[in-house]
Structure 1
Amino acid sequence: MSEINIGGTLIEFGLLADSENHFAQQLMARYHRGLVHPYCNCLDDKECREIVIRKRSYYFPSRKGNTSGNHAPWCTLYLNPALTKYSKDNQPAIIENGDRLDVKIKTNLTIITDPKPKVSKIYGSEATANKTKTRASITLLGFLHLCWQKAYLNNWNANCRSNRGINSVASNINKIANTISVSKQELSNKLVIPHWVFREDDNQIRDKEYWDKTREKSIAENQQTLYDNTSYSGKAAIVIGVVNRLVKSRMDNGNIGVSIQLLDKLLWMPAEIAKKAEYSFGQLLSEIGKPDRHIIAICTVFRSKDYYAIGEIALMRTNKQFIPVDSSYELQVADKLIDECRAFTKPLKLGDDPYLPDFVLNDCRGKWVLEVFGVTGDEKYHIRKLEKIQYYHDKHMQCWRWSPESDRGIPSFPSNE
């Protein structure tokens, strides 16, 4: 729920950020560099939540510097202050510079075969070189959430097409990839999102032969992009894609191959990485191939000749429209919201955010959060549930709830009329 007040006009942030929304572009052109500053309505306090209107080839909104922690945890413009705050000894995991982000990921993107000793120019020794500032980091899954959020893929508008596909995901993330730096390089130089490649003058009849040829062309171009982005020795690409299946190595060494949609070659998890993935994402691994969902992988990939090895991997569950969900119950709610043409946001966890609702409705007059309480018989979970309900009450948020174990079906959603 990120409603922006711009000159007295209220507009949802996702619509304002849509470069193809003619009304939003006209509205921002009117107030670009003006004396009236738009602001976010996510909370009703006196904290600064001003919005800055910027311009490239089109107008777009971004939060004012150093205000990300002032927004509600469920707001699109929110970033956990723990990830952006400087301290005496640490730089933050996310450094903001206007609409650009410099991100430190908690994973290796370079393999160093001959490490150089850490020598400080000031202190002159390896021991004292460590006195320089270190930097906090974000997990690989947190980084995937950040990309999804910055590309507005966790938002659904009533006018969205119900067949959002991998090309929409690739297009939206690629649009913002040049505004994110990872390891001193733009994400766009490392990123590979396998997708369909269509001819610009494509007006053919889309029969089986057409799709076979298009698939062959798409796989070839995606594979070439991965090859090019791993061409520097010891440098990793960051691959984001839909997992098709897992394949055990014939060599009985514990290695597991990951088949990514629209990639020809398998990406191989060494045995220790495969064990780590099973421990962290075992439930999601068991859901690969289910027809009502996607399992999205983000992984760092290194290449040796034609062999692609995964350095680290994280997984995320989405429904068929690529809305992230934390459970099968949430998936049912997301699908029902889409079927009823509702506008909503799925807040995503970037750090230790204590009070993130499962969903937020963006098309109601009042402020509504949606909660799915799917666990029973757990005292800690029950206490946490009561804390969240009280938190929403204190913030003047109305809370819709579904308890699958006790309710016969999904309750009706709050009215959007």
Structure 2
Amino acid sequence: MRLAGRVVPLAALRAHPGRFVSLFGKARAEVGHAECLCDPDRPQRLVIRCRAGRYHLAGWPEQGHLHATTCPWYRTDPALSGSASYPREAITSTDSGTAIRLAVPLRTRSAAAPPVSAGRADTPSHATRGTSRRALGLLALLHWLWEQARLSLWHPRAPRRTWGICHARLSRQAGECVVNRLPLASVLYVVPPYRPATGARHAADFEAFTARLSGEGSQRRRGLVLGEIRRVEPTPYGVRIGLAHLRAPLFASRALHERLRRSHRTAFAGHSNKHGGRQVVLCLVDRHPGNGYLVIEDAVVMLCSATYIPVESSYELRMSEALTAAGRAFLKPLRYDGTGVFPDFVLLDTTPHTYVEVWGIRGREDYEQRKRIKQAHYRGAGHPLLEWAVHDPLPDVLPRGRRPPATLPPG
């Protein structure tokens, strides 16, 4: 890093931030930014923020893809992200943070919450119906958080990714974002990893979160809960959903649960098949006025690999696990609410980057036509292509000159 002309190791800044307060202040006042030297030939600007007297660094808006892929400020190229389909008023990034317009209202008129069994199975969901490009749906918000937290990116030298790492990154990202003019950190509860030493504090934090969902005059505030599904159990009125690391259950109507299963077939099927997979869920919740339980009003479910890389099919799950086992650096482009055409994965350890396509359907003419169009587009753009037709064995995904690891999945 370079601050006011002085080069400082990032590890030192993180370990002893108090030692560099004057240097931060000088760089902010005289230069206006810091510089990242991940590529010394192309220094990239970094935002210097100050909160409660403490300085920290953030990526420069819309410049994250210019960093080295191993840099902590690297972000997905907008050309490989569904975020590019939104106008500026939907996602506004400045040097003070990001403001997001969410299609789902987080403030509603005070009224008795409907019973858990209410709702029609054919009612369109905020999360799955077509939303205006001027606002993000729940799935788009989940994808944005995942992308900005670098959880759609995998690098073999990174520490083993646990839910604790996901929680820390997602919480940090929420702290720099405003949604519908509300601080995202005040309306989003990212379930923390359970540890005996912090259990009591986390329980108090959750109680404080649910208390904020009470009515405020004529207004009620709804909240968002983000976690990993551990179990779904039937109740007389619907289902009880248990999240990993969270003692308190969430409740949903039977109609909503069936709608989620239809809208997110891949997430439910991929989780139950022999290759496993994780189910990450973002829930819009309200507090039941009678018993105080959290009732899910809407939700989206995302299938992820063991390392929390999002995937869109059980075949992509196998490919993701194979790339991880082979020690490849790669990212998963995320569509948000749109239907943009992206490769299934992008290998970041080749120059130019290699696109990965998993062809899951055979013999259907419209699918074969789209396949040919994508292949021609990649050739014309000069992108190397790694392909897997799922009825064939998995292709060799290893870098050149490297022996296959013993953990490479069969097939």
**TM-score w.r.t. length of structure 2:** 0.71
CA contact (8 A) 1:302 1:309 kept: yes
Tell me what 1:75 maps to. 77
Of 189, 197, 200 in structure 2, the residue corresponding to residue 192 of structure 1 is 189
Unaligned runs of 5+ in 1: 1-15, 42-48, 86-91, 115-133, 199-212
**Is 1:137 aligned with 2:121?**
no
The alignment of Structure 1 onto Structure 2 pairs a total of residues equal to 340
Tell me what 1:292 maps to. 276
* Displacement after TM superposition at 1:158 (Å): 2.2
* Displacement after TM superposition at 1:38 (Å): 8.6
Aligned-residue CA RMSD (Å): 3.8
CA distance in 2, matches of 1:224, 1:276: 29
CA contact (8 A) 1:259 1:267 kept: yes
CA contact (8 A) 1:299 1:311 kept: yes
* Displacement after TM superposition at 1:271 (Å): 3.7
CA contact (8 A) 1:151 1:176 kept: yes
* Displacement after TM superposition at 1:152 (Å): 0.7
What do the CA deviations read for 1:178-208 (whole angstroms, capped 9, x no partner)?
A: 222112111111111112254xxxxxxxxxx
* Displacement after TM superposition at 1:173 (Å): 0.8
Tell me what 1:412 maps to. 397
CA distance in 2, matches of 1:320, 1:313: 22
CA distance in 2, matches of 1:165, 1:228: 29
Tell me what 1:339 maps to. 325
* Displacement after TM superposition at 1:227 (Å): 2.3
Tell me what 2:342 maps to. 356
Cα separation, partners in 2 of 1:289 and 1:329, compared to 1, 3 Å? closer
What do the CA deviations read for 1:307-346 (whole angstroms, capped 9, x no partner)?
A: 2111110000001111111111111221122222221111
CA contact (8 A) 2:266 2:312 kept: no
Cα separation, partners in 2 of 1:176 and 1:334, compared to 1, 3 Å? same
Cα separation, partners in 2 of 1:197 and 1:99, compared to 1, 3 Å? same
CA contact (8 A) 1:180 1:187 kept: yes
* Displacement after TM superposition at 1:294 (Å): 0.7
CA contact (8 A) 2:82 2:335 kept: no
What do the CA deviations read for 1:62-109 (whole angstroms, capped 9, x no partner)?
A: 2359x99xxxx9626856443124xxxxxx322233362221222232
Cα separation, partners in 2 of 1:331 and 1:189, compared to 1, 3 Å? same
Of 105, 108, 124 in structure 2, the residue corresponding to residue 108 of structure 1 is 105
* Displacement after TM superposition at 1:348 (Å): 0.8
CA distance in 2, matches of 1:388, 1:135: 25
Unaligned runs of 5+ in 2: 1-9, 50-54, 67-74, 112-131, 403-411
CA distance in 2, matches of 1:194, 1:74: 25
Tell me what 1:98 maps to. 95
* Displacement after TM superposition at 1:395 (Å): 1.8
Letter in 1 for 2:98: L
Tell me what 1:165 maps to. 162
Tell me what 1:201 maps to. none
CA contact (8 A) 1:243 1:288 kept: no
Of 38, 45, 54 in structure 1, the residue corresponding to residue 47 of structure 2 is 54
CA distance in 1, matches of 2:247, 2:100: 30
Tell me what 1:256 maps to. 239
Percent identity among equivalent residues? 21
